[in-house]
Amino acid sequence: MLARLRCFLLFQAWLVWQGGFFFYAAVVVPTGTDVLGSAIAQGFVTREVTGWMNLIGVGFHLLLAWTLIAERGTARWKLRVGLSGASAILLIALFALHPVLDSFLDPVEQTVDRPKEFYRWHAVYMWVAAVQWALGLANAWLLLGVWKDSDTVTRVSPSSS
């Protein structure tokens, strides 16, 4: 029962984190830009939202670590640990980059100081987030395979009859 709860919580956390990231990037940012009238205005919304997305990422990574500990020795475990570790490092990088980006923003005037420099750092942030998202997809693919294999073994095991 605990294993099923762990898997359920991890899956839900992955949906919220990765799905939220995708939905925000694909739908909210363009819609917000249209409604607010500028990418800069939308950027000040994103400034607040990304902090929450990164905190959700921390919760996901904690559940992922619990899963990896519980599933030691399963198929492609070392690869999953490597992907998870890389993703966690990228999450730390996002936390570190956030104040760098904030340093270019004037929230009162809603302006960007030194736009060229800001957009270079913003591109770094976006690439880190995109690579992290791709690692999350790869890890989910591997994880679903492990769970499928585990479920198959459990169903055909003589002890489960």
Q: What is the pLDDT of residue 153?
A: 47
Q: Cα–Cα distance between 145 and 100 in angstroms, integer?
A: 39
Q: Which residues contact 135 (CB under 8 A, 6 or more apart)?
A: 83, 86, 87, 90
Kindly provide the residue ranges of all beta strands, DSSP E only, lying in 8-153, ordered along the sequence: 105-106, 111-112
C-alpha span between 22 and 92 (Å, rounded): 19
Taking alpha carbons only, the member of 146, 133, 142, 134 closest to residue 80 is 142
Task: Tell me the average confidence (pLDDT) per consecutive run of 10 residues in the chain, 161 residues long.
Answer: 86 92 93 94 92 94 93 85 96 97 92 94 95 91 80 50 43
